[in-house]
Structure 1
Amino acid sequence: MKIVLVSSAGGHLAQLLPLAPWWSKHERTWVSFKLPEVESALAGEDVVWAHFPTTRNLFNAFRNFLLAWPTLIRIRPDLVVSDGAGVSVPFFLVAKVLGIRTVYLECFDRISMPTLSGRICYPMTDVFCVQWPQQLHSYPDAVNVGPVL
């Protein structure tokens, strides 16, 4: 299976890295930001560098939308996986249009308030995962996978 893992830096990336027993078995490409901590964490991985910052930055959201098209068409993944933040939205939009399945993992530290990217991606996600039972109030059709950290 080919997967694309889309993640912001910091805590978002830190939540996908422990899933290595799963993603390491698959052909994969990462989408993240060209920052020293990301380059270090993803050394040796295939990475597409997204435009940063994305938090409420419409210009970079548009640029990442334009990046998502050729990236997903070139890779032709079976699955796009993300845990946010803003960089996930354009990739999920394009994945939806191209018929690529998506999985979203809501953030570990947002227990009672949903994230903006989670709220946007929820309706277009094939499987939406949460890490706390309380998060099911915001995402009633989600799957509670428990804490990944």
Structure 2
Amino acid sequence: MKKVCFIASTGGHFEQLMMLKPLMNKYESFIVTEKTDYSVAKNSKKIYYLNQVNRNEKTFIYKMILNSFNTVRIFLKEKPDVIISTGALATIPMCLLAKIFKRKLIFIESFAKVNSPTLTGRLLSRFADQFYVQWKDMLKVYPYAIYKGGIY
């Protein structure tokens, strides 16, 4: 059975990831998200936490380096076959590791983006094996993307 890593930053990205719960239950899977002051939805799946990252903070680079080391540790421990991400910044190291180790990468662009790309989406669209958008108009931004509607 394939092992799947579901990874997202907090907030709306994580909420979108949790809409994939039926898929999580179909495979051996685990979740990676950012640690926050509020608790994420309780889940029977294994959950790993990364530092919360904001590119406008002075500690941005430091946190990304720490997250990268933590991500390598998680990746080598779990050895996922597939990585599914809804973004954002903290997810980039895991997505890049997927490509380095020749694993399948599936990226779902944010539901909040109706006609412009996210920074993470722009970067990872180059590496994703499957790249999904949730609005038909986003096919103008990512003509190679897959549109199947929203995940809500």
TM-score under structure 2 normalisation?
Answer: 0.90
Q: Distance in 1 between matches of 2:77 and 2:33?
A: 17
What is aligned with 1:67? 70
What is aligned with 1:26? 27
Shift of 1:42: 3.6
What is aligned with 2:102? 99
1:148 counterpart letter in structure 2: I
Q: Distance in 2 between matches of 1:54 and 1:100?
A: 27
Which structure carries more helix by proportion?
A: 1
Shift of 1:89: 0.9
Question: What secondary structure sits across from 1:119 in the alignment?
Answer: helix
Q: Distance in 1 between matches of 2:54 and 2:106?
A: 20
What is aligned with 2:48? 48
User: In terms of mean alpha carbon deviation, does 40-49 or 24-33 score higher?
Assistant: 40-49
State which of 65, 88, 91 in structure 2 corresponds to 1:88. 91
What is aligned with 1:3? 4
Shift of 1:25: 1.3
Give runs of ≥4 in structure 1 deviating > 6 Å. Answer: none
The runs of 5 or more residues in structure 1 that have no matched partner are none
- How many residue pairs are counted as aligned between the two chains? 148
| Cα shift readout 1:119-149 (whole Å, capped 9, x = no counterpart) | 1111011100000111112211110021111
Percent of paired sites with the same residue: 28
Q: Distance in 1 between matches of 2:12 and 2:96?
A: 23
Q: Distance in 1 between matches of 2:54 and 2:67?
A: 9
Shift of 1:36: 4.8
| Cα shift readout 1:77-102 (whole Å, capped 9, x = no counterpart) | 11001010111211111111111111
The runs of 5 or more residues in structure 2 that have no matched partner are none
CA contact (8 A) 1:103 1:128 kept: yes
| Cα shift readout 1:16-64 (whole Å, capped 9, x = no counterpart) | 1121111111111111122254x34144321111011243522222222
Q: Distance in 1 between matches of 2:137 and 2:114?
A: 6
CA contact (8 A) 1:65 1:94 kept: no
Q: Distance in 2 between matches of 1:51 and 1:95?
A: 20
CA contact (8 A) 1:89 1:117 kept: yes
For 1:92-131, what aligned pairs fall within 5 Å after superposition? 92-131=95-134
